[in-house]
A and B are shown apart, each in its own frame.
Chain A
């Protein structure tokens, strides 16, 4: 099964990545070592760190209306610092690995593990006929990767 591990930020890192502090370098090295372990265990699929919410935009949907909000955003519990995608046997394995991740944030922080919807979970959205008929293009009706 595939899972996304979402790292949540507890406070905005105001510091620039262009001028790393010794603490940032240490955190980066720790994360790099952990990623190497994931690669060697054969479970690592993809990962990325995300820029802070000053660079973010939110699109609020209300019916047909769309409102674009510019960051930064204040609700820090909602801020996502990065994500990682793993292919594991079950949630127990995902949890055991996630517990080994270095804590790169000052104080208390949080990770969340969410299993992917796989195509079979969404069988109710597509008729067998649709599944049997090839579609043009690169996106499936289910839109899941």
Chain B
């Protein structure tokens, strides 16, 4: 192996261990910042040691042992908070001087628990959803601030500051990096799911810019969702929603490559080439949904993610667009607007009803919500209205709606799609 190859192998190993390493260190030193620094120090040590000694049999335990020593050193240097940290340092000494095997055994016991604890801390409701997303991508996903900034079309400075502030908030709130238990855990799960879905959606429905989809963010969110589903206690009732979100993301991701045409133009669901949907991901999604439903997610207690996954599954199960069970979709939306009241859900419900019961049914529902403040300047509203009018044969009105939608969207690709639809209104004259 050349030096370059060795370094790449070490960095790949580090990437695998990084989140668990930070999680273990954070729980000991009660600081994400210090844990991250100590983990980085451990990587530097590995890069200098492993080329000589070879990668150790248990690289995770090796990195953790070094990380702990570095964390203790850092704490000792920190005169400001001397007393409190002396106590922690003393407690740490006993562990860190043990052989790597002992640490490995200790790690095996609660490694999943520590990682889950870090996820719950990074996604704590004291932080804003944006701050949670940035911090989660940084400490769990291992993305650099630059990568996160590019993904969110933000500046590196903004993201870096957001992460610094988030870490400070966590420290100030005295969060303990533990996995909440029982009812507390059930109450905290939604704030974790919200972040993962925010990351997924930022990739899936790129709100601005030239690309309609940023698949890297989708992949990162799917990985986080799979991780969470793998780490959560299997039979916890709140796991239904975890699996629901995972199912939703896997099914939506299965359509990623069918959503854009050869010129990058957006293709709506009903016009997609279903043969290009990814059956592997789709089946994973349907499996996750089945597991969610087995946890009790079939009746009126279904949460928003299980319902949305069930909606996505309706499309996934239809081999041709014409086979879509629109009445079932309309019924699921009727339910979704109860558990997740939102004008956007109402809009989608109107679309579903238009497909199930005709454009007039859609127009009736969409006119009920047209005044909602949240939908002002919301491109999908006139786009949907335009579609209903088009199908009802009211072409002049349809054209004007499509044009309004085109001026409202910030996405270049979507605008092109809407203008094509506006032009099609003329073709029928």
Q: A42-B230, A44-B226, A45-B284 known; A93 and B15 CB under 8 Å?
A: yes
In the bound complex, do residue B226 and residue A134 qualify as a contact, i.e. CB atoms below 8 Å apart? no
Q: Please give me the residue from chain B that is nearest to A126 by CB atom.
A: B262
Is there a chain A Cβ closer than 8 Å to B280's Cβ?
yes
Question: When chains A and B are docked, how far (Å) is the Cα of A87 from the Cα of B225?
Answer: 13
In the bound complex, do residue B272 and residue A137 qualify as a contact, i.e. CB atoms below 8 Å apart? no
List chain A residues, Cβ under 8 A from B8.
92
Question: When chains A and B are docked, how far (Å) is the Cα of A137 from the Cα of B267?
Answer: 18
In the bound complex, do residue B319 and residue A138 qualify as a contact, i.e. CB atoms below 8 Å apart? yes
List chain B residues, Cβ under 8 A from A134.
271-275, 321
List chain A residues, Cβ under 8 A from B321.
134
Is there a chain A Cβ closer than 8 Å to B9's Cβ?
yes
A113, chain B: closest CB distance, angstroms: 12
List chain B residues, Cβ under 8 A from A101.
none
In the bound complex, do residue A145 and residue B280 qualify as a contact, i.e. CB atoms below 8 Å apart? yes
B312, chain A: closest CB distance, angstroms: 17
Q: A96-B9, A132-B262, A136-B320 known; A41 and B16 CB under 8 Å?
A: yes
Question: When chains A and B are docked, how far (Å) is the Cα of A145 from the Cα of B277?
Answer: 8
**Quick one: which of A129, A133, A145 contacts B278, CB cutoff 8 A?**
A145
A118, chain B: closest CB distance, angstroms: 8
In the bound complex, do residue A138 and residue B279 qualify as a contact, i.e. CB atoms below 8 Å apart? yes
List chain B residues, Cβ under 8 A from A85.
280
Is there a chain B Cβ closer than 8 Å to A65's Cβ?
no
Is there a chain B Cβ closer than 8 Å to A119's Cβ?
yes
In the bound complex, do residue B273 and residue A87 qualify as a contact, i.e. CB atoms below 8 Å apart? no
Q: Please give me the residue from chain A that is nearest to B279 by CB atom.
A: A145
List chain B residues, Cβ under 8 A from A36.
230
Which of the four size classes fits the interface of chain B? 35 or more
Is there a chain A Cβ closer than 8 Å to B151's Cβ?
no
List chain B residues, Cβ under 8 A from A142.
276
Is there a chain A Cβ closer than 8 Å to B394's Cβ?
no
Of the candidate stretches B95-103, B216-224, B324-332, the one touching chain A is: B216-224
List chain A residues, Cβ under 8 A from B271.
134
Q: Please give me the residue from chain B that is nearest to A137 by CB atom.
A: B275
Question: When chains A and B are docked, how far (Å) is the Cα of A21 from the Cα of B227?
Answer: 33
**Quick one: which of B12, B115, B224, B225 contacts A96, CB cutoff 8 A?**
B12
Question: When chains A and B are docked, how far (Å) is the Cα of A108 from the Cα of B263?
Answer: 50
**Quick one: which of A40, A90, A131 contacts B273, CB cutoff 8 A?**
A131
Q: A45-B284, A119-B257, A145-B280 known; A40 and B262 CB under 8 Å?
A: no
B79, chain A: closest CB distance, angstroms: 39
In the bound complex, do residue B226 and residue A39 qualify as a contact, i.e. CB atoms below 8 Å apart? yes
Is there a chain B Cβ closer than 8 Å to A139's Cβ?
yes
B151, chain A: closest CB distance, angstroms: 14
Is there a chain B Cβ closer than 8 Å to A73's Cβ?
no
**Quick one: which of B257, B262, B272, B275 contacts A141, CB cutoff 8 A?**
B275
Is there a chain A Cβ closer than 8 Å to B261's Cβ?
yes
Is there a chain A Cβ closer than 8 Å to B11's Cβ?
yes
Question: When chains A and B are docked, how far (Å) is the Cα of A110 from the Cα of B271?
Answer: 45
Q: Please give me the residue from chain A that is nearest to B225 by CB atom.
A: A42
B2, chain A: closest CB distance, angstroms: 14
B272, chain A: closest CB distance, angstroms: 7
Question: When chains A and B are docked, how far (Å) is the Cα of A99 from the Cα of B280?
Answer: 25
Question: When chains A and B are docked, how far (Å) is the Cα of A107 from the Cα of B278?
Answer: 38
Question: When chains A and B are docked, how far (Å) is the Cα of A139 from the Cα of B226?
Answer: 26
List chain A residues, Cβ under 8 A from B273.
131, 133-135, 140
In the bound complex, do residue A97 and residue B16 qualify as a contact, i.e. CB atoms below 8 Å apart? yes
A143, chain B: closest CB distance, angstroms: 9
List chain B residues, Cβ under 8 A from A128.
261-263
In the bound complex, do residue A96 and residue B226 qualify as a contact, i.e. CB atoms below 8 Å apart? no
Question: When chains A and B are docked, how far (Å) is the Cα of A106 from the Cα of B408?
Answer: 65
**Quick one: which of A41, A92, A136 contacts B11, CB cutoff 8 A?**
A92
In the bound complex, do residue B230 and residue A93 qualify as a contact, i.e. CB atoms below 8 Å apart? no
Top-9 shortest CB links A-B: A128-B262, A42-B223, A92-B12, A42-B226, A140-B275, A42-B227, A96-B12, A40-B230, A39-B230
Besides the known contacts A42-B222, A137-B274, 10 further A-B residue pairs in the complex with CB atoms under 8 A apart: A40-B231, A41-B223, A87-B223, A92-B9, A99-B55, A131-B261, A138-B279, A138-B319, A142-B276, A145-B280
- Please name 13 pairs of A and B residues whose Cβ atoms are closer than 8 Å in the assembled complex, sorted by A: A40-B112, A41-B230, A42-B225, A43-B223, A46-B284, A85-B280, A87-B219, A96-B12, A131-B262, A133-B273, A134-B321, A136-B319, A137-B274
A residues sitting closer than 8 Å to B (CB atoms) are 36, 39-46, 85, 87, 89-90, 92-93, 95-97, 99, 118-119, 128-129, 131-142, 145
